[in-house]
């Protein structure tokens, strides 16, 4: 039903729980400036390692500038990483060239936040879904037509809409087209980059439910990139929290929301508005703003805003490693073993 | 007690290529002294046009106010004021902040000079006095180094800091009413929390009334005293915040609350509302929510629903809502 229970989902599928995607020490630095002097770098992704089991949903959460979108794009090689390794089903994808990479691309897809911006305004939405089938030589002619109609029905769209142009559809319908297009070549893995952020709440829930249903029906693996922690709780099995290009905490969804270990996760969760006037929680306010990723602070990148009472010298000098604090729970904080508590007010 | 602001039968329409768009259609509400009224709804429901109409910020044409429309502030109908008299109220008595601070700030002027301009537009301060006041205002809204940042240009600031500048500018003439149109929607969640805390603190310190426009029920639950839910250019349900969230009587409000993901209630199945939000050139007949409503009866598609006063003393405009004393 909901994406909360990893074990049930993995055992329920045909394949054994195994790693589909493994990212090791991934780095992406963008050069900036340098026109009149020595250049500088934005450290968008700064040494990220993660793995994702087949059939699971890993949510990558963080605020703007945390590097989550860049990481997602590096993983499907829409952007070339500066260094690191990405292996997909055991294959080192950064080493692949030409036809090999193209063959692998069929197995991974991406869905973007802005459904209007990712569809060609002069192409009917039916053609948009049909195009990948022809590019990858999966189907053509009548066969392709039949497949497109089937895909439309699968994502909850009437096949009569195939002849429409993007501007004739609502935001929710366009995002369904984006999903149908991604599904057309039967990928195993989909990067969903803020797929519901641009949608109205009544429509957002429809699309979240659709993604959950499709995952079950097709045994899909998702990397779900989002800033909305309430949305993520409804779809993810596992969460990785990013701050300034690094993962600061990763855990299964239930323990992470119930008892976050990293002070950034504690503050982030406490800042999420709750749609219930009686359940207003005590916030753990964060002072200041996210520092620039051109000049991240020394030591722990979060120490300039950290509300943890145990913060000390060490935090501003020594970079905390992402380490396993409890089985399956990793945090990059010197004091992760004595976490802050999430206060709950009246 | 009389309301500070009374909006009566407000209708705002636009001439478009696809016909007349009745963006706001016969909307009435009061804003009381010192309260925060939340106006909530999805895209295209008319909440922003309502806000802009209050300050007559809708260009005429293509916009047009209905003949019955009245915006009463301290007994005066703002829709009948001369441009000069309106300027005395706009900014000075009723101020407004928007979702995108960057598009409201002038990119080629320092933030300080923009605040000084706002102060001097309504007062008689000298440039030096106004500059001192601008620094005070920037301190008040939590700009870390106001004396230095007064000389910054908007692009040198983060979105959160820009919004603080907008708030400083809005407060420069000590308005009685602040209209905030999605002021935190473009911000990250930790910065959103800071700005909401700031707004609520300033509201109390300045004794302002706030009309807060948002699509986010979570934000509203934390700050509003009363809530008005808009759909299809009309207010469909209105009342005290607890009544609306705990005993919603309109099927649209009920649907919205079921569709919002709760961070505290992961086990609740999300339920979307089927279909999409309608557009202002083609509102459905009868109750505008009827094509998406699971509780509709025959008359919903033909007759405009009446005001039903519910058990929790709030108003729902719906044929199937249960009136007080009949449950």
- The answer to which of A12-21, A230-239, B314-323 has the lowest mean pLDDT is A12-21
Determine the pLDDT at residue A342: 62
| Residue A178 to residue A181: CA distance in whole angstroms | 5
Chain A residues within 8 A of B256 when measuring between CB atoms: 201-202
Contact yes or no for A41/A32 (Cβ under 8 A): yes
Query: Does the CB of A5 have a partner CB in chain B at under 8 Å?
Result: no
Preferred mutation among A258, A273, A279, A305 to probe B, highest tally of B CBs within 10 A: A273
More reliable by pLDDT, A218 or A12 = A218
Span A49-64, pLDDT tens digits: 999 999 999 999 998 8
Span B238-295, pLDDT tens digits: 999 999 999 999 999 999 999 998 887 766 678 889 988 888 999 999 999 999 999 9
Span A313-328, pLDDT tens digits: 999 999 999 999 999 9
Residue B141 structure tokens: 């809204």
- Residue B61, preceding peptide bond in cis (omega within 30° of 0): yes
pLDDT band at A17 (very low <50, low <70, confident <90, very high): low
pLDDT band at A34 (very low <50, low <70, confident <90, very high): low
| Residue A169 to residue B169: CA distance in whole angstroms | 40
Chain A residues within 8 A of B188 when measuring between CB atoms: 63-64, 227, 290
Residue identified by tokens 């008319």 is B46
Query: Has residue A14 got a pLDDT over 60?
Result: no
Q: Measured between CB atoms, which of A170, A234, A273 is closest to B216?
A: A273
Span A86-106, pLDDT tens digits: 999 999 999 998 889 888 989
Å between A278 CA and nearest CA of chain B: 8
Contact yes or no for B55/B179 (Cβ under 8 A): yes
Å between B83 CA and nearest CA of chain A: 37
Q: In this structure, what are the phi and psi dihedrals at residue B46, rounded to the nearest 5 degrees?
A: 105, 5
Query: Does the CB of A173 have a partner CB in chain B at under 8 Å?
Result: yes
Å between A121 CA and nearest CA of chain B: 20
Contact yes or no for B121/B91 (Cβ under 8 A): yes
Span B95-104, pLDDT tens digits: 999 988 888 8
Query: Does the CB of A278 have a partner CB in chain B at under 8 Å?
Result: yes
What angle in degrees, to the nearest 10, is found between the helix axes of A171-183 and A125-135? Answer: 10
Contact yes or no for B42/B277 (Cβ under 8 A): yes
Query: Has residue A12 got a pLDDT over 50?
Result: no
Determine the pLDDT at residue A35: 66
Question: Could you state, in chain order, the average pLDDT of each consecutive group of 10 residues for chain B (327 residues)?
Answer: 89 92 95 96 93 93 93 93 91 91 90 92 88 94 91 92 93 94 91 92 94 95 96 96 95 94 76 89 95 95 93 91 77
Q: Which of residues 202-231 of A touch B (CB under 8 A)?
A: 202-209, 227-231
**Interface predicted TM-score (ipTM):** 0.85
Å between A285 CA and nearest CA of chain B: 7
| Residue A15 to residue B217: CA distance in whole angstroms | 40
Determine the pLDDT at residue B103: 85
Other C-beta atoms closer than 10 Å to the C-beta of B82 total 8
A61 pairs with which residues across the strands? A226, A241
| Residue A181 to residue B197: CA distance in whole angstroms | 43
Helical (H) or strand (E) element with A149:
helix A141-154
| Residue A75 to residue B48: CA distance in whole angstroms | 40
**Half-sphere exposure of residue B313: CA atoms within 13 angstroms, side-chain side:** 4
CB contact under 8 A, A274 and B219: no
pLDDT band at A16 (very low <50, low <70, confident <90, very high): very low
Residue identified by tokens 């010197």 is A334
Contact yes or no for B47/B280 (Cβ under 8 A): no
Q: Measured between CB atoms, which of A233, A268, A283 is closest to B261?
A: A233
Preferred mutation among B38, B144, B157, B189 to probe A, highest tally of A CBs within 10 A: B189
Residue B305 structure tokens: 């629903």
Query: Has residue A15 got a pLDDT over 90?
Result: no
Q: Measured between CB atoms, which of B219, B255, B266 is closest to A4?
A: B266
3-class SS of residue A116: coil
Query: Has residue A10 got a pLDDT over 70?
Result: no
Average pLDDT over residues A176-185: 94
The total number of residues written for chain B in this structure: 327
Other C-beta atoms closer than 10 Å to the C-beta of B67 total 8
Helical (H) or strand (E) element with B180:
strand B177-181
Residue B269, judged by CB atoms within 10 A of its CB (0-12, 13-18, 19+), counts as: exposed
Query: Has residue A297 got a pLDDT over 50?
Result: yes
pLDDT band at A279 (very low <50, low <70, confident <90, very high): confident
| Residue A180 to residue A83: CA distance in whole angstroms | 33
Contact yes or no for B70/B7 (Cβ under 8 A): yes
Query: Does the CB of A275 have a partner CB in chain B at under 8 Å?
Result: yes
Query: Has residue A345 got a pLDDT over 90?
Result: no
CB contact under 8 A, A230 and B277: no
Helical (H) or strand (E) element with B84:
helix B83-89
CB contact under 8 A, B266 and A288: no
| Residue B14 to residue B205: CA distance in whole angstroms | 38
Determine the pLDDT at residue B263: 85
Contact yes or no for A264/A229 (Cβ under 8 A): no
CB contact under 8 A, A205 and B220: no
């Amino acid at each position: 039903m909901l994406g909360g229970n990893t074990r049930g989902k993995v055992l329920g599928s045909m394949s054994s729980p195994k790693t589909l995607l493994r990212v090791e020490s991934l780095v992406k630095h963008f050069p900036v400036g340098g026109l009149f002097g020595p250049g500088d770098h934005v450290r968008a992704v700064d040494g990220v390692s993660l793995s994702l089991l087949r059939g699971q949903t890993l949510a990558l959460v963080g605020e703007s500038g945390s590097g989550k979108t860049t990481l997602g794009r590096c993983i499907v090689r829409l952007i070339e990483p500066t260094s690191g390794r990405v292996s997909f089903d055991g294959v080192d994808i950064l080493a692949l060239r030409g036809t090999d990479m193209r063959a692998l691309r069929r197995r991974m897809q991406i869905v973007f936040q802005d459904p209007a911006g990712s569809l060609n305004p002069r192409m009917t939405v039916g053609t948009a879904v049909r195009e990948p089938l022809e590019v990858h030589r999966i189907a053509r002619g009548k066969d392709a037509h039949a497949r497109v109609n089937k895909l439309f029905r699968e994502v909850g769209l009437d096949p009569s809409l195939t002849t429409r142009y993007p501007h004739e559809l609502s935001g929710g319908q366009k995002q369904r087209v984006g999903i149908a297009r991604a599904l057309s070549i039967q990928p195993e893995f989909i990067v969903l980059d803020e797929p519901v952020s641009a949608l109205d709440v009544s429509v957002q829930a429809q699309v979240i439910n659709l993604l959950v249903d499709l995952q079950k029906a097709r045994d899909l693996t998702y990397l779900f990139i989002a800033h909305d922690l309430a949305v993520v709780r409804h779809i993810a099995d596992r969460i990785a929290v990013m701050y300034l290009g690094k993962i600061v905490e990763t855990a299964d969804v239930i323990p992470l929301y119930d008892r976050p270990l990293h002070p950034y996760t504690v503050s982030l969760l406490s800042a999420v508005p709750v749609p219930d006037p009686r359940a207003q929680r005590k916030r753990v306010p964060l002072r200041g703003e996210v520092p620039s990723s051109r000049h991240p602070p020394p030591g722990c990148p979060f120490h300039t805003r950290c509300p943890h009472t145990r913060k000390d010298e060490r935090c501003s000098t020594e970079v905390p490693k992402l380490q396993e604090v409890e089985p399956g729970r990793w945090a990059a904080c010197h004091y992760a073993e004595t976490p802050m508590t999430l206060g709950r007010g009246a | 007690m009389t309301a500070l602001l009374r909006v009566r039968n407000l209708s705002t329409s636009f001439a478009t290529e696809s016909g007349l768009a009745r963006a706001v259609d016969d909307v009435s509400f009061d804003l009381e002294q010192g309260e925060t009224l939340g106006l909530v709804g999805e895209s295209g429901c008319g909440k922003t046009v309502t806000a802009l109409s209050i300050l007559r910020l809708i260009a005429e044409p293509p916009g047009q106010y209905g003949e019955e429309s009245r915006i009463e502030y301290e007994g005066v109908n703002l829709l009948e004021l001369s441009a000069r008299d309106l300027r005395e109220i706009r900014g000075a008595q009723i101020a407004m902040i928007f979702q995108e601070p960057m598009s409201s700030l002038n990119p080629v002027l320092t933030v300080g000079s923009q605040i000084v301009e706002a102060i001097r537009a309504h007062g008689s301060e000298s440039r030096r006095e106004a500059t001192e006041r601008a620094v005070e205002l920037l301190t008040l809204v939590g700009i870390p180094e106001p004396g230095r940042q007064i000389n910054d240009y908007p692009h040198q600031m983060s979105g959160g800091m820009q919004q603080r500048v907008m708030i400083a500018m809005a407060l420069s003439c000590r308005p009685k009413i602040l209209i905030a149109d999605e002021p935190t929607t473009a911000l990250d969640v930790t910065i959103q929390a800071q700005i909401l805390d700031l707004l609520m603190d300033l509201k109390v310190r300045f004794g302002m009334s706030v009309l807060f426009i948002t699509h986010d029920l979570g934000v509203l639950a934390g700050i509003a005293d009363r809530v008005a839910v808009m759909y299809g250019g009309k207010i469909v349900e209105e009342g005290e915040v607890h009544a609306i969230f705990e005993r919603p009587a309109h099927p649209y409000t009920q649907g919205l609350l079921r569709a919002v993901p709760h961070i505290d209630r992961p086990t609740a199945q999300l339920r979307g509302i089927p279909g999409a939000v309608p557009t202002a050139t083609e509102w459905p007949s009868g109750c505008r929510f009827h094509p998406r409503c699971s509780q509709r009866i025959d008359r919903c598609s033909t007759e405009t629903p009446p005001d039903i006063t519910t058990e929790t003393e709030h108003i729902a405009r719906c044929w199937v809502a249960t009136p007080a004393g009949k449950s």
